[in-house]
Structure 1
Amino acid sequence: MTMERRTVLERIGGVAAAAALAGCSVQEQGSTGGTASGGGSGDGSSQGADGTASGSSGGTATAWYQLQDSELPARKDAIASFGEQTEYTIEGSDISKMENKTTSAIPAGQGPEIFEWAHDWVGDYSQREFVVDQSDQLSVSLDQFSDAAASAVQYDGAVVGLPHSAETVTLIYNADIVDEAPETMDDMVAAMEDYHDPDKSQYGLAAPFDPYFTSGWIQAFGGYYFDPEKDPALGIDSDASVEGLQFALDTLRPYMPNDPTYEPQAAAFSEGNAAFAVNGPWYLATLNQNDIDYEVATFPEIDGGQVRPYTGISMWYFASAMSDGGSSAEAARSFVEWFATSEDHQLRLAEEQGSIPVLDSLVGSDELPSTVQTYSQTVSQGVPMPTDPRMNKVWAPVKTALTKAFNGDAEPEQALSTAAEEIRSKWE
C-alpha cells in the first residue's frame, strides 16, 4: 500500500504535441468522484466521469486520476481544452484509492488507458505488467523534461509514462499568526508555543504523520527508508532513522492535533486554526479557496542535520490497455503528450495550485510564482522516492509504525524495528 498523497494539474495551452492536433466539440459529465485523500466507495472507486472531451472522429480513451475537490474544476478544463483542439475523446474519472482500483481493474482488463500518480509505482507496475512501453510511439522527447523527471518515467529502458510536475512537502505558515518564516527550529518552536492552545482548537503545527509527510524528519540525520544502492538497503530501523523519528515526536508532536491522518491535520490549517503546516503544492488550491493568508517557506535549520523530505514526479502512466494500439491508445498518448508539454498549462497550474513544472523551459523560470520557487528549493534538498519494486512493501509497515509512535503505543526504536522485520519478511 502506498501512502496517501495528492497530485496536481489542469488546463492547457499548446506546445510541441499540440501543434499536431486539430479541433472538435466538447461535452462534460458530472462527477461523483471522491477527493485525493482516499475517501470513496468500498471498492476503492468513485464511479462517474468528471470530465469528457468529445472528439468528432478520433479515438476514445479513459483517464483515471485522484484529486482534491479544489483541483477538479481545472482538470475538467484540461480535458475540455484538449477536446476543443483535437478529434479525440477523453473520458476522465476521479478515482479514490487509486492503488486498490488499478491493481484490481488492470489485470481484469477493466482499467483505463492512462492513469495519474507519482513515479514510485514505476518499478512495481512495470514488473507486474500493468504499464507498457510507449517509447517507439511518442512524438515528444524526454529531453524536454528535467533529468530527474525523465529518469522517473523509465524502467529497464522502457518509457511507461510522461512526467508533468514535481512534488514534495515543505513548511507553510499562516501570515496572520506568524510574522516571518522561522530560520531555525528554535524559532519555529517558539512560534508554535506562542499560538498553541488545543482547548481553543488552536495548534502550533498541522502535519500528517505518515511515511511521506514525515520522511523529511526521519531522513534529517542520515536516516533512510530504503535505498537499493546502500548496504543494508533497508534503513528504516537504523540509528539515524530512529533519531529522526524521536526528533519529530519530541519537537513537533506536542503541537499537533491528536489525529495523525491527513484530513484532520490539513483541515486545522486550512480552517485558520494552526500556525504552521507541512504539506505539498496540491494543498495551495484549498488554501486559496479558503482565503487563508499564507506563505510558503523552506524548512528551518536544525542542529546536526537537514530536513530532507521525499520528492516525487507526478506522471501519467501508460496502462496495459494501450498495448493493443489502435485509436484509443492514440487518443490517450496524444492527451498525455499535450498535457505534459504545454507551457501555458504548466504556468496556469503553477499560479493557481503551486504546481512545480518539470519542463526544462520552465524549470527555474522567473515567470513562476514565489511559492513554486520555494517548493523547487525544497525539491532540490529532498530525496527522490525509489522506483525499485521492493519499495512497495515498505510503505504500509512504516505507516503502522509511525501511527503507533505518534499515539504513544510504541517507542520509536521498537516501532521501526517491528516495521523492518515485517518488510524483510515480505521481501522473502
Structure 2
Amino acid sequence: MGSVQNKRILFSLLTVITVMLSSCKADSKCEFIAIFNFGDSNSDTGGFWAAFPAQSGPWGMTYFKKPAGRASDGRLIIDFLAESLGIPFLSPYLQSIGSNFRHGANFATLASTVLLPNTSLFVSGISPFSLAIQLNQLKQFKVRVDEYHSSDQSGLHILPPINVFRKSLYTFYIGQNDFTSNLASIGVDGVKQYLPQVISQIAGTIKEIYGIGGRTFLVLNLAPVGCYPAILTGYTHTNSDLDKFGCLIPVNKAVKYYNALLEKALFKTRTELKNATIIYLDTHKILLDLFHHPKSYGMKHGIKACCGYGGHPYNFNQKLFCGTTKVIGNSSVKAKACRDPQNYVSWDGIHATEAANRHISTAILDGLISYPSFALNYLCPSV
C-alpha cells in the first residue's frame, strides 16, 4: 500500500513539474519578435557600405557568394541569432533600398566606437556612427513606428508592431575599436585609462533603452584581440610578450581587465532596472579557445588570416588589407582569400570567419557562455 501511495505522490510531482516546465516554455517561446543591434564591424550587416558604397572582393564568399556588407566570408553572430528566432537577417538602419524593418533594425557600422570620436583620443578612420548616434537612431525609429501606427498606414505592414520595443532582443557587440584604435600609439596602460568610460556609456545606453520599453539585453564582451593578426603585426613586442600559442600576453590581460569591468557594470545595472534581463555573453572564452586550439573545433589555423598577404605566420600586412592590390617593389601584389576559410579562425586578420562565428553562436544559443543563464535554443526553438 505504501508503495502504491509513493508512486502516486511521485506521479503527482512529475505532473506538476511537467506542467510548470511546459508553461514556462510556452510563455517564453518565440517571445522575441525582433532584434535591435548596436555594434561595429563584428555585427555590421551592411550599414557602413550603405553609407559609403565600395565593398568588393572576396567578402561573403562562403554563404552569400558575393559581398554582402559583412566583414567576413559569410554569416556573423547576429545572423545566426536572427536565424534562431526564425526572422530574416537584420537590415541595416542606413540602408534605404530593400530593407525590412518588421523584425528590428541593425544600427552597427564598421569602425564604430562606444565613445564619441571627438571626445576621445581616436585616430582617423573611425566611423561617425558611435554608440550615442546609434541610440539616437533607435529613438528616431521608435518615433516613426509610433507615428506609423497612429496613422491609416498601419495596414501596410512595413514596420513592426507597436509593442515591438518590449518584445525584442537588444544586442551589443561594440567596444573593440575603442580598445584597439590607440593601442599602437599609447600602449596598453594608456588604453586602460579610458576603458571605464566605455563601459559606463554601454550601461547608460541600456538604461535609456529600458526607458523606452526595452527589457532584454545581450552584451557580448571583448574578443582576445591579442590573438588577432592585425594586432600581432601592428603592436611592438618581443617574443617574451607572446604566450605559447603566439598571442600577445599584455594585450589579452588588458582585455580581461575590460571584460571584468563590463561584467561588474552589467551586474550593477541589472540590480537597478526592475524586470530587466541583462545578459553578459563571454564570447571571449570561445574565441580564445578557437585561437589556442583550432584543431579541437575541426579547424587548422588560429592566428593566421585566411584573406591577406604575407604568408606565415600571420598572412597579414598592415599596408595591404584583404582584397586590395598594391605595387610592392616592381610587382603588383594582391591580398587574396584562401580557398578553405572553414579551416581558419581569422578571416582578414581583424574579423572572424563564418566558421568561427558559428561556434561562438552555438555557445550563445545553448546558454553555455551566458551570465546569468540564458539559452535562446530553449526559449525560442527554431520553427
Length-normalised TM-score, structure 2:
0.27
Higher relative contact order (CA 8 A, sep 6+): 1
**Which of 1 and 2 has greater Rg?**
2
**What's the TM-score once normalised by structure 1's chain length?**
0.25
